[in-house]
């Protein structure tokens, strides 16, 4: 979330998260028959529509502006294991963003 600030593109943030997952060994496979890993967009804008600009997906060029509200939805999915998607919402402010959603982050895989 530290990367989300006015002037930054959603594509850049998405690609940075993908690079982090890759570095940590979370393999992603994108195809229509058997996708797994981090194969969906990281997030999107929220306003009059539930999914709108700026999108956070690879190649997205829309820049964040102060006052925007966006979702941040990293997730990993693996056949035979399951999946997890965290969904937060942030408000863009000068120099960064502030978390709107409030949920605990104490999770563990048994």
Task: For the chain, give the longest Cα–Cα distance.
Answer: 43
Q: Which residues pair with 62 in a beta bridge?
A: none
Give pLDDT, residue 50: 81
Residue 42 and residue 58: Cα distance in Å, rounded? Answer: 9
Domains of the chain: 10-99 (3.90.230.10)
Encode pLDDT of 51-64 as tens digits: 899 999 999 999 99
Encode pLDDT of 2-54 as tens digits: 999 999 999 999 999 999 999 999 999 988 788 999 999 999 999 988 889 99
Residue 36 and residue 28: Cα distance in Å, rounded? Answer: 6
Q: Tell me the C-alpha to C-alpha distance, in Å, between residue 60 and each of 12, 54, 87, 99, 104.
A: 8, 8, 19, 22, 30
Give pLDDT, residue 109: 67
Answer yes or no: is pLDDT of 108 > 80.
Answer: no
């Amino acid at each position: 979330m530290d990367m989300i600030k006015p002037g930054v593109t959603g594509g850049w943030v998405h690609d940075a998260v993908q690079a982090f997952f890759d570095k940590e060994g979370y393999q992603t496979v994108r195809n229509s028959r058997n996708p797994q890993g981090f194969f969906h967009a990281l997030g999107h804008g929220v306003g009059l529509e539930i999914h709108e600009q700026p999108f956070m997906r690879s190649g997205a060029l829309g820049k964040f502006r102060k006052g925007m509200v966006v979702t941040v939805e990293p997730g990993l999915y693996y056949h035979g294991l399951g999946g997890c998607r965290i969904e937060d919402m942030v408000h863009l402010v000068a120099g960064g963003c502030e978390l709107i959603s409030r949920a605990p982050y104490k999770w563990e895989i048994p």
